[in-house]
Amino acid sequence: MPRTSATEQRPMPTKRSISDRALRRWFPKRYIRKRMRWTEIEHREKLRAAESRNDRRSLEASHNFDMLDLEDWLTRIEDHQLITKAGRMDLSLDDIPEPQGGPDDTPGHWHTGDTGSRILYSDSRLALQKAIRERAPAYRKERREVYEFYSKIVRGVGGVLTGIGGTIIGIISVLKK
């Protein structure tokens, strides 16, 4: 195994560990970023070991495809999280005007990424993020009002139960005498 400097991390092992599988399952964005770092390190080591120019070109092409795949995966996750957050705030992509694309672009908010995945156009993503930022203060106020309403109910029920408990204790003490 080649020696690595103190600042460089070890390349990702080919066999996935339990922690990698758990990271991929529960923290996919962190897993993707970790995978991207490992891919970069592996790529640098392979480039150092490459002997010919053709080997380096094929390594570059393979590396670029791997990185595009990981970037598309990360973007899909972030788009899904953004749309979920917008849905909680009663916002929709239908409320946002569709971006003006070129003649080759399909109309709508989605385009096909380099690896065939559906990704939001950057204009749509920015417009949705702006709508979320504008809606956030009102949404927080609504949520706070709901929490206050439920806390008033819980405090009221708690007070009634305390009163009933005190009354029962008083009745029991009177009846024992």
What letter does residue 96 receive in the DSSP assignment?
A: S
Asked whether the CA dihedral 20, 18, 77, 139 is positive or negative, the reply is negative
List the chain domain ranges. Answer: 50-100+107-176
Per-residue pLDDT of 28-65, as tens digits, reads 999 999 999 999 999 999 999 888 889 889 999 999 99
Which amino acid makes up residue 53?
Answer: R
Q: How far apart are CA 116 and CA 119, in angstroms?
A: 9
120 and 110 Cβ atoms separated by less than 8 Å: yes
**Alpha helices, DSSP H, located in the chain:** 18-26, 28-49, 53-88, 122-176
Residue 4: its pLDDT value, please? 46
- The per-residue b/e assignment along 96-117, b for 16 or more CB within 10 angstroms, e otherwise, is beebeeeeeeeeebebebeeee
**pLDDT class of 111 with cuts at 50, 70, 90:** confident
Residue 143: its pLDDT value, please? 93
Residue 105: its pLDDT value, please? 65
The pair phi, psi for residue 119, each rounded to 5°, is: -135, 145
Per-residue pLDDT of 129-142, as tens digits, reads 999 999 999 999 99
Residue 13: its pLDDT value, please? 53
> What's the distance, CA 177 to chain centroid?
66
98 and 107 Cβ atoms separated by less than 8 Å: yes
Residue 103: its pLDDT value, please? 56
Point out the least confidently predicted range of 20-29, 102-111, 117-126, 146-155. 102-111
What letter does residue 120 receive in the DSSP assignment?
A: E
